Structure 1
Amino acid sequence: MAESTRTSGVSVHDRQRERAARGVRTRQSLAAGKSDRPTPPRRRRPAMAALAVLLIVGGAALAGLLAVNLDSRTSVIVVNQDVPAGTEITTDLLTTSMVASEGLKIVPEDQVSAVLGTYARVPLSEGQLLDTTMLVKGGVLAAGTVQVGVPLPAGRVPAGLRSGDEIRLIRLSDGASSQPTPLATALVLRTAAGESGGIVDGGGSSGGGATLMVPSRAADAIVDAAANERLGMALIRHGVAIDDVELSVLGGPR
């Protein structure tokens, strides 16, 4: 009986160990089977893919546009210094620069001969592209006008007087015995400060001068008033082109 009980106990115990061992093997097999399965593909994001395509296409288009613009640049004429209105255009006033000139009236380098000998109809600034609308042919003086040089004494010159200004010239009175006499309208072609400094701005001491375009009939009276230090000036407007101004004789000698 005792032997039978031991045999039964051993058998039960052995069966439990066998079942446990089979369970371990089964879990290992399942785990191995799972590891052998292919990984499912990740979900794609259509919006991100479309954005990437757009960025690539846009970048290519921008690069192409820049290349076209670079190829379309041409060498054009540029003013290398300030040029007063009425100045003859010569080679020493010009240089060149590469720009995109499509649709503009600027002058290509290979057409520089067409502008030499013309005149600046308006004041030009250093570095400014030379435009055909800024030039005039046939000389600076309109019919019935002459150039005169006058001093610019302090106290009788508008502040900031410069090339391209239209002014009114007045003969000042000599005291109680006379009245100021308007002489003519004039156009300032160029100004220059004297040795004593900035007369052009209306301050300081005398010494500067200006070249004016005036009606020929008033030239004698203007020169006489300037020589006797009785010439005054009043500013009418800035930035007048030499071929747009209409100069007139006023109340002085005709």
Structure 2
Amino acid sequence: MSRTEVPPQTGRVQAPLAAPPTAGAQARWQARRRRPGMLALAVACIAACAVGNWWYWTENGQRQPIIGVAHEVPAGSVIKDSDLREASVAVDPSMKVIGIQQRDQVAGMRAVATLQAGSLLHPKEVTRKALVTADEQLVGIALEPGQLPDSALRPGDQVQAVFTSDDPGAEAAEGMPPSIQARVVRVGAARESTGERVVDVAVPKAQGPQLAAQAAAGDVALTVSGASS
């Protein structure tokens, strides 16, 4: 009989092969790989929903018809119906506006401040109060550049109407004061050709005729003595 030779044993022991991963371990590993991607997708979905809700509220939210300004209205001027327009906007509850149903009431009121075209009308920008009191007169003064400060005048500003006649002696003989305290009621727009503008001022009733006569002769200049609080 032939003998089968067995190779001699060496000192090295071969390590057993690692067992292949089970199906459950593979699933857990794949889930961990997908988790960051799922989180990113969830964040993107939440952001998209927030933007969509904001856009929908802006475009289709609590819109209401309110009064807007169609044309510029100088301060102190009577507001005409043609100066108003309807605007439909989503208004913040804290914002004060005037509903379009009050349009007939607003027409005929006066602008407290200059109303800019394209703006929304605020309740404090209009008034029914008279521009002058019972003890005052309203005088319009046409002034050229140099006869009034370059700084913008505003309704309520306190000014001095200074008489600039070439014959101050005649004024003194007639007992006319050198100037009259006045309150700005309205400031007209400057004419493009000359830069002249008309400023309406309220003065004591007794001094109204004097100021009107000097203004007609072009012998008045305005100086600002202060502003109303």
Secondary structure of 2:222's counterpart equals strand
Task: Give matches, 1:68-87, under 5 Å.
Answer: 68-69=57-58, 70-87=60-77
The answer to whether the Cα contact below 8 Å between 1:186 and 1:214 also exists between their aligned partners in 2 is yes
The answer to whether the Cα contact below 8 Å between 1:165 and 1:236 also exists between their aligned partners in 2 is no
What amino acid sits opposite 1:232 in the alignment?
A
What amino acid sits opposite 1:76 in the alignment?
I
* Higher Cα Rg, which structure: 1
Q: d(CA) in 2 for partners of 1:68 and 1:133?
A: 28
Q: d(CA) in 2 for partners of 1:92 and 1:213?
A: 28
Q: d(CA) in 2 for partners of 1:154 and 1:67?
A: 52
Match of 2:40 in 1: 51
1:174 is displaced (CA, Å) by 3.7
1:195 is displaced (CA, Å) by 7.6
What amino acid sits opposite 1:79 in the alignment?
V
The answer to whether the Cα contact below 8 Å between 1:106 and 1:129 also exists between their aligned partners in 2 is yes
Task: Give matches, 1:148-159, under 5 Å.
Answer: 148-159=139-150
The answer to whether the Cα contact below 8 Å between 1:123 and 1:164 also exists between their aligned partners in 2 is no
1:100 is displaced (CA, Å) by 2.3
1:161 is displaced (CA, Å) by 4.5
Match of 1:187 in 2: 184
Match of 1:205 in 2: none
Distance 1:153 1:65, change over 3 A: closer
Match of 1:215 in 2: 204
TM-score by length of 1: 0.65
Match of 1:61 in 2: 50
Secondary structure of 1:77's counterpart equals strand
| Range with greater deviation from structure 2 (97-106 or 121-130) | 97-106
| Range with greater deviation from structure 2 (150-159 or 78-87) | 150-159
Query: Is there any run of 5+ residues in structure 2 with no aligned partner, and where?
Result: 1-19
1:76 is displaced (CA, Å) by 1.8
Secondary structure of 1:44's counterpart equals helix
What amino acid sits opposite 2:211 in the alignment?
I
Percent identity of the aligned residues? 21
Query: Is there any run of 5+ residues in structure 1 with no aligned partner, and where?
Result: 1-33, 200-207, 245-254
The answer to whether the Cα contact below 8 Å between 1:162 and 1:191 also exists between their aligned partners in 2 is no
Count of residue correspondences: 208
Match of 1:171 in 2: 163
Distance 1:71 1:188, change over 3 A: same
Match of 2:99 in 1: 108
Distance 1:237 1:62, change over 3 A: farther
Match of 1:13 in 2: none
The answer to whether the Cα contact below 8 Å between 2:131 and 2:185 also exists between their aligned partners in 1 is no
Match of 1:27 in 2: none
Q: d(CA) in 2 for partners of 1:217 and 1:115?
A: 33
Match of 1:129 in 2: 120
